Every structure is written in structure tokens, then in C-alpha cells.
Amino acid sequence: MWAVRGQRVDRAFEAVEGVMLAIDHHVERFVIFVFANFACRHITNVSHFGALVAVCESTYSLAVTRRVEAMCRRSTSSKNLQSQELVEFLRSPATYPHRPPEVRPIQTHISWVFVASPLVFKIKKPVNLGFLDFSTLEKRYHFCQRELELNQRLAPEIYLDTIPIYKTASGFSFEASGGAIVEYAVKMKELPRSWFLNELLETNLVGEKEINRVIARLQRFYESETPTPEIQEWGTPEKLKISTDENFTQMEPFVSKTVSPAAFETIRHFTNRFYIANEKLFLERIQEHRIHDCHGDLHLDHIHITPDAVSIFDCIEFNDRFRFIDIANDLAFLAMDFDFEGRSDLGNLLLRNAAREFRDSGMLRVSDFYKCYRAFVRGKVQNIQGVSMKATTPEEHANQAARYFRLALRYAISGSTPFVLVVMGRVATGKTFVARQLGKELDWPVFSSDQIRKTLAGVPVTQRTAEGLRDKVYSEQMTEQTYRRLLERGLSALQSHSGIVLDATFSSRAHRELLRQECEKAHACFQFVELDVDLSQIEHRLKARDQSAGEISDARLEDLKKLSAAYEPPIELMENLIKVSANASVSETVKAVLFELAERRIR
């Protein structure tokens, strides 16, 4: 079996060789994965190709890597050279009959855009990324035509024509002159700057009025569409899983690079469990005709608002299943974009008002699921751009990808409501280490009661409080002051963060009740995570503190009995409590916490 598959891999190299030119050779596993994707599609035309990936990474690992790297190094091949020459041709103002004063090129991982005022020209790169295939001239022409037709639904005044580009002995030209057609470009009207939604957001000019104008334009668009049975079936979990499974497979090579193993597994767990737990909800969405031929790429950069018009452009043309989606999925992209830019207020406003105007109460029940999906896709795109666009900085794409994956994780474990995550438990259960790692995974600030207590008392944080001061530092009055300051600082941080992590024992029921009351006032959700550790392990950790120079907590083995007696088990918390064993490593404990939080989101 493996030998046969190996032969198939060999036969597929010729079919994919040119496509691989666009992939940077230094990320070997990603290149192997992309090759396997192309090879599998070329030979078997199926979307699940784990076995072929295994062939490439085991039986063919070294050989495949060397051959694919060799492909990528062929930067002087005739095809690649032609692409470079074509880009240079389109960069030149002299190329265009209307002689623009300058040409501004914009590169993405799948296209080149040339802004030659007052017109814009866009060509597609000869790439095959599995979920899109522009690898031949015929396919690029087809998708240029599709881009023109589909975008005329929401921006008819912008999309003008598909035009051929010729090549003769003297070079490229927009005029035939006996030359052969070597490329096609979508010709568009340039939109005036400063009116794109992302630009308006930067200048704080987006409010409910602008949000409602976008909603009204989309409502007319959705209502003009009549979903067919073919379109509606893409709302089923089985069809949706094609895209989400593809995303997870494609991102496996980036685990531990731009997304942590714990985050990756939690997002995948949340996604797959959501399908199972909400199958009825997905079917209701289909029955309510919420699945349409939508835009598919609805983010801030693709919306243009002037006092006179709302234009929404650059929809998905390269893969119908990315457009045949729930309108909640379409809107979730834009809401996620607002969240990413630190404007969750606008993202939540968009979804609330859309649900009201569309008379769609179910929209808010699936919006966080779709926002999680959208954030993960954006992380994937940043990773692809980081290895395929040599003109940009890979580190910048990696950083952006990591931000998107952290956002996806937040949707999976806490949704879109401000969230207070409390890591509590008895002494020496590892609260501080777990809280810090959770803060890192979620990009949330962490507030420690030990640090606040010592700061209030004027004691250096990593210095053990002098014995003569301990009665004062750990008095009821100081403890009350510490917890109030902890909540004050934490809830204040919610104004600029979607969530916070509190690291404190919370041994008193009164302090837990205080947190509940304060969260209610702040309209924030909260969840306690109680860490549980075997007594022998607690004793071992307390003994080790005597040899630890950077220990913040003052508690030692001799304090264990007194502290244990003062600990009031949080039996009153019920649904707001998760109990997790912390006997294993910090990473395993954090993963267990994230999984439990995701499960709570699904129930």
C-alpha cells in the first residue's frame, strides 16, 4: 500500500511543480503538507489526505523535502521569470493608456493589485493552495470572470471588466498586436481613500449610524438572494466540517510556532463538540433559510462608506463553499474584525442590531462559534502569507497569526462577553504558574493577590515578609483590603481587555460573593477554577520554597495546617466552578482548564 502511494507521489510531482514556486522553501513541513494536498487532489480528488501526508513525512520525508526545496529555488525558471516581468510591467505608469502619475502595488498571498488612479487592476497568482486553484491561465480567467460577476451584486459601480494581457517579442501589452494572451486582469474603479471602514475606525468615526448602514445594505443583499437546496446543504455540520477540518489539518505544521498545542487542541475540541451539541440548531438555521450565497470575506477593509453610498467589495470567488454560508457566519467575520481591533463594543452592536433587523434571534447563539472559525481562518491566512510573500517580514505575519489564534481561543472558552477567570485553591496548588500560563494563552492580564498584598504592605514582592510583620500583613483588615484592590484593578482592566485572570486563594466565601457582586455590576461573566493537588505534593512544594529565590508567596510547610483549616470549600459556586487536578505539569493543567472552559461554553 505504502509503495503504491509512494509511486503516486512521484507521478504527482510534474503536476504540481510549477505551483510550488510560490511557497517559501524554508518551512519544510508546510511545503510537504501543501505538496501532499496538491498530489492528493490531482490523483484521488478527495479532501481527506492524512495518509498521503504520512507518506511524505515518513517514507518520503528526506527525498520530498529536497525535491520540493529544489522546486522553490528555481526562481530563474521561465514561468517565474515571466511573473516577475509581468509585475514590473504593471508597476509602471507608462503601461496604462490613461498614464497615471504613479502606480501603487499591493501584494497578497494569492494576487497582485495595482492602483493606477482612477483605476485598479488585479491579477491572480498562479498558485494552488488546495482551497483555491489558480494554477492555469484558463482557471485564472474563469475566476476573474467569477470575481467580476459576484462582486457586481454588492458593488456594481466598482467592477468594470475582465481584460486580457498580451505578450509579444517586445514585451507585455494591453493591446493584442499579434501577441498571445498570457494573463487576465480584473479592471475596477478606484474608491476614494479615507472612507474605508478600517480607516474610519482608526479616526474613531464608526458608530451605530455607520453600523446600521452596513446592516441595511447587507439586508437588501441577503433578501435578494433565493437560496437553493445546493446552497442550503452547506449549513449542515457535515458540510461545515469540510472547511474546519481542512483548517486544522493545514495548521498542524504551525502548532508550537504561532499557536500553542493547548490552544490548538482546545479550539478543535470546541469546534467538533459544538457540531455535536448543536446539530438541531444548525438544522433550524437551514429551515429558517439563513444559508445564502453570501459575501464570504466581510471584513473592515472590504467596506467603503461615504455620505452617499455603502460599497462592499472583494467577495470570495475562488471557492463556492466559502460563500454558501449562514448569514451569521458572514456577519461574524466583520464582528471578529472589530474585536481584533479592540472594538468589541462595535462587534457586539453589529450582531445585536443585525439579529433585531433580520428578526433572527438564533444568530447570537451561533455567532461566537463562527467568530472562532473566522479568527482561526485569519490566523491560517497570516501563516500562509508568512511563507509565500518574500517581500514582507515573516515575523510580522507570525505575530499577527498568533494574535488571531489567541482570539479564536477566547471565543472558544469565554465568548464575546467580558470575562473574569479566577484561579483559586489551597496553598501550593500551582495557582500562580497556571494563572500566568492562562494569561499568556489568552493574552489577558494576570493579577495576583500575593503581589498586591505585599505592595500594599511595602514589602518587596520576592522577599519573604519578616516574621514580626506577618500578623499585620495577613490580618483580616489587610486581607479585605487586598481582595478589594484585586477586584478593583482587575475589573478596571476589563475596559481595555476582553478578559482578566485573577490569581488568589479565595478561601473565604465572603470574598467569592464579593467577586460575584462586582462582576454583576460590571456586566462581566466569571468562572472559578479550583486547582486540586494531593497533600503529599503540597507538602513537597512547600518544602521546596525554602530553596526558591523568586518565591512570592510567604506560605511554608509550617503554615499548612492553619491555612487548610481556614479554607472554605467553594460548594456554593456550583455552575461557576471547575475543579481541575494540578498534580501533572503546568502545561497539562492549563490544557485541562481550557478544555473544561470550552465544555462549559457548549453546554
Residue 172: its H or E element: strand 171-173
Q: How do residues 461-472 score in pLDDT, each as one tens digit?
A: 888 888 888 889
**What pLDDT, on the 0 to 100 scale, is given for residue 552?**
84
pLDDT band at 547 (very low <50, low <70, confident <90, very high): confident
Q: Is the dihedral of CA 296, 298, 302, 307 positive or negative?
A: positive
Nearest partner of 331 among 173, 230, 216, 464, judged by Cα: 216
CA 340/CA 268 separation, integer angstroms? 20
**What pLDDT, on the 0 to 100 scale, is given for residue 484?**
98
CA 461/CA 452 separation, integer angstroms? 9
CA 150/CA 146 separation, integer angstroms? 6
Does residue 47 have a pLDDT over 70?
no
**What pLDDT, on the 0 to 100 scale, is given for residue 49?**
33
CA 351/CA 354 separation, integer angstroms? 5
pLDDT above 70 as % of the chain:
86
- Helical packing angle, 394-414 and 431-442, nearest 10°: 120
Does residue 542 have a pLDDT over 60?
yes
**What pLDDT, on the 0 to 100 scale, is given for residue 63?**
52
Residue 561: its H or E element: helix 560-566
Give phi and psi for 430, each to the nearest 5. 90, 20
DSSP string, 188-237: EEPPPTT-BHHHHHHTT---HHHHHHHHHHHHHHHHH----HHHHGGGSH
CA 525/CA 340 separation, integer angstroms? 20
Give phi and psi for 14, each to the nearest 5. -65, -35
**What pLDDT, on the 0 to 100 scale, is given for residue 546?**
75
Nearest partner of 420 among 491, 329, 354, 350, judged by Cα: 491
Does residue 68 have a pLDDT over 50?
no
Nearest partner of 373 among 241, 257, 238, 262, judged by Cα: 241
Cell of 72: 522553490
Nearest partner of 433 among 556, 586, 259, judged by Cα: 586
**What pLDDT, on the 0 to 100 scale, is given for residue 83?**
83
Cell of 267: 479550539
Does residue 157 have a pLDDT over 70?
yes
Least confident of 78-87, 99-108, 301-310: 78-87
Across the chain, what does the average pLDDT equal? 88
Cell of 468: 514580626
Q: How do residues 186-200 score in pLDDT, each as one tens digit?
A: 999 999 999 999 999
Residue entry with cell 474585536:
339
Q: Is 184 in contact with 162 (CB distance < 8 Å)? A: yes
Does residue 492 have a pLDDT over 90?
yes
CA 122/CA 186 separation, integer angstroms? 5
Angle at 273 between CA 272 and CA 274, to 5 degrees: 90
Q: What is the mean pLDDT of residues 196-208?
A: 98
CA 584/CA 264 separation, integer angstroms? 20
Counting every residue written for the chain, the total comes to 603
**What pLDDT, on the 0 to 100 scale, is given for residue 23?**
40
Q: What is the mean pLDDT of residues 224-236?
A: 95
Q: How do residues 321-372 score in pLDDT, each as one tens digit?
A: 999 999 999 999 999 999 999 999 999 999 999 999 999 999 999 999 999 9
**What pLDDT, on the 0 to 100 scale, is given for residue 467?**
84
Does residue 446 have a pLDDT over 80?
yes
Q: Is 147 in contact with 30 (CB distance < 8 Å)? A: no
Query: Which is it for strands 180-189 and 171-173: parallel, antiparallel or unpaired?
Result: unpaired
Does residue 42 have a pLDDT over 50?
no
Q: Is 126 in contact with 80 (CB distance < 8 Å)? A: no
Q: Where are the beta strands (DSSP E) in 302-387?
A: 303-305, 310-312, 324-326
pLDDT band at 426 (very low <50, low <70, confident <90, very high): very high
Does residue 57 have a pLDDT over 70?
no
Q: What is the mean pLDDT of residues 83-101?
A: 95
pLDDT band at 390 (very low <50, low <70, confident <90, very high): low
For 310, the 3-state DSSP assignment is strand
pLDDT above 90 as % of the chain:
75
> In this predicted model, which residue has the larger pLDDT, 473 or 588?
588
CB count, 10 Å around CB of 497?
Answer: 17
CA 502/CA 423 separation, integer angstroms? 6
**What pLDDT, on the 0 to 100 scale, is given for residue 50?**
35
Residue 525: its H or E element: strand 525-532
**What pLDDT, on the 0 to 100 scale, is given for residue 298?**
97
Q: How do residues 19-39 score in pLDDT, each as one tens digit?
A: 343 343 334 445 444 544 444
Residue 182: its H or E element: strand 180-189
pLDDT band at 233 (very low <50, low <70, confident <90, very high): very high
**What pLDDT, on the 0 to 100 scale, is given for residue 182?**
96
CB count, 10 Å around CB of 84?
Answer: 11
For 60, the 3-state DSSP assignment is coil
Could you give the count of Cα atoms lying within 13 Å of 32 in the half-sphere of its Cβ? 23
Does residue 66 have a pLDDT over 80?
no
Cell of 368: 461566537
**What pLDDT, on the 0 to 100 scale, is given for residue 452?**
97
CA 112/CA 122 separation, integer angstroms? 6
Least confident of 73-87, 100-114, 472-486, 543-557: 73-87
Establish whether the linkage from the previous residue to 227 is cis, with ω within 30° of 0: no
**What pLDDT, on the 0 to 100 scale, is given for residue 37?**
43
Cell of 400: 499577527
Q: Is 426 in contact with 508 (CB distance < 8 Å)? A: no
Burial 580-593 (b: 16+ CB within 10 A, else e): bebeeeeeebbbbb
Establish whether the linkage from the previous residue to 101 is cis, with ω within 30° of 0: no
Query: Which is it for strands 119-124 and 180-189: parallel, antiparallel or unpaired?
Result: antiparallel
Radius of gyration of the chain (CA): 28
**What pLDDT, on the 0 to 100 scale, is given for residue 259?**
98
pLDDT band at 130 (very low <50, low <70, confident <90, very high): confident
**What pLDDT, on the 0 to 100 scale, is given for residue 339?**
98
Query: What phi-psi label fits residue 315: left (phi over 0), alpha (psi between -120 and 50 degrees) or beta?
Result: beta
